[in-house]
Amino acid sequence: MAADLHRLAITAMAKTHSPYSGFPVGAAILTEDGRTYTGCNIENASYPEGWCAETTAISHMIMDGGGVIAEIAVVASKHPAITPCGGCRQRLAEFGKPATLVHLCNMDGVMETVTLGELLPKAFAMEDEK
């Protein structure tokens, strides 16, 4: 499935609106129940405001009823094996699990797969709020 997510992330990246950074990013999510969602980074004139590709994909998932993220692929045309930023790592932790697979990609394919727990070992969680 990682190769399929990579292809979906590349397709999403082609839709980016990144005129300020010139740094297009795409992401594709697979939920535990088999649905897929994509996203690209979308910037605006009050740069660095905007949202990341992972955030866009999560938004599409939530708008479709939510779910648990099983895997995500992230790709950037100008950076090999791009990782989600800190904010997106926390967003992924909100809707994923420590075992969620994060595929770090370049334009040719998956370069490395890590778990969300490895990327964000001490994520905030709702039970921390109590």
Mean of the pLDDT values across residues 98-119?
97
* Residue 1: pLDDT over 80: yes
Is the pLDDT assigned to residue 126 strictly greater than 70? no
Token pair recorded at residue 117: 């727990």
14-50, pLDDT tens digit by residue?
999 999 999 999 999 999 999 999 999 999 998 778 9
19 upstream amide cis, omega within 30 of 0: no
| pLDDT tens-digit series, residues 48-95 | 789 999 999 999 999 999 999 999 999 999 998 999 999 999 999 999
**Helix, strand, or coil (residue 12):** helix
Write down all domains in the chain, each with its CATH number in brackets. Answer: 2-129 (3.40.140.10)
Active site residues: 54
Predicted confidence (pLDDT) at residue 129 exceeds the cutoff of 70: no
| 3-class DSSP assignment, residue 3 | helix
Contacts of 128 (CB under 8 A, 6+ apart): none
Q: How far is CA 61 from the centre of its chain?
A: 12
Q: What whole-number distance in Å separates Cα of residue 83 and Cα of residue 47?
A: 20
Please tell me the chain's helix, strand, coil percentages from 3-state DSSP, rounded to the nearest 5: 30, 30, 40
Please report which confidence band the pLDDT of residue 127 belongs to, taking 50, 70 and 90 as the band edges: low
Rounded to an integer, what distance in angstroms lies between the CA atom of residue 37 and that of residue 44?
Answer: 22
Specify the 3-state DSSP secondary structure of 86. Answer: helix
pTM: 0.93
